Amino acid sequence: MSSLKRRSALLAVAAGAFFTAMAPTAEALTYYSVAPGQRVNVRSGPGTNYTIVRVLPEGAKVAIFCQSPGTTVTGPYGTTNIWDNIDNGQYISDAYVQTGSDGYIRPRCS
């Protein structure tokens, strides 16, 4: 095998290992239900002062990657200042998510 082919093969293996380690698998994620009958604003940060980037439809389920303190919101599951990060740059108030807890269930966002 030539030096160039060997380097290309090593880079491909390294890249594959990196992306496999970085990407969460579907089995590793837990999905939580958004409150029934609710369409929920998804914001660019953990608070009502952040831009709405999309709206979750009724019946949506979300994976929570991390949580952050922010604006206090009252919703179907109580009053809280916890915001759930559901995707890169996308947050919803935990007051609309059935997590089964009034506190943090995931690590704090950094």
pLDDT of residue 63: 98
Residue 83 phi, psi dihedral angles, 5° rounding = -120, 135
Given a cut of 50, is residue 99 above it in pLDDT? yes
Q: What is the b/e burial string over 78-90, where b = at least 16 CB atoms within 10 angstroms of the residue's CB?
A: eebebbbbbeeeb
Mean pLDDT of the chain: 85
| Predicted model pTM | 0.75
pLDDT of residue 45: 98
Model pLDDT for residues 35-80, shown as the tens digit of each residue: 999 999 999 999 999 999 999 999 999 999 999 999 999 999 999 9
Q: pLDDT category, 1, cuts 50, 70, 90?
A: low
Helix (H, G, I), strand (E, B) or coil at 103: coil
| Strand partners of residue 55 | 41
pLDDT of residue 28: 78
Helix (H, G, I), strand (E, B) or coil at 97: strand
Given a cut of 60, is residue 13 above it in pLDDT? no
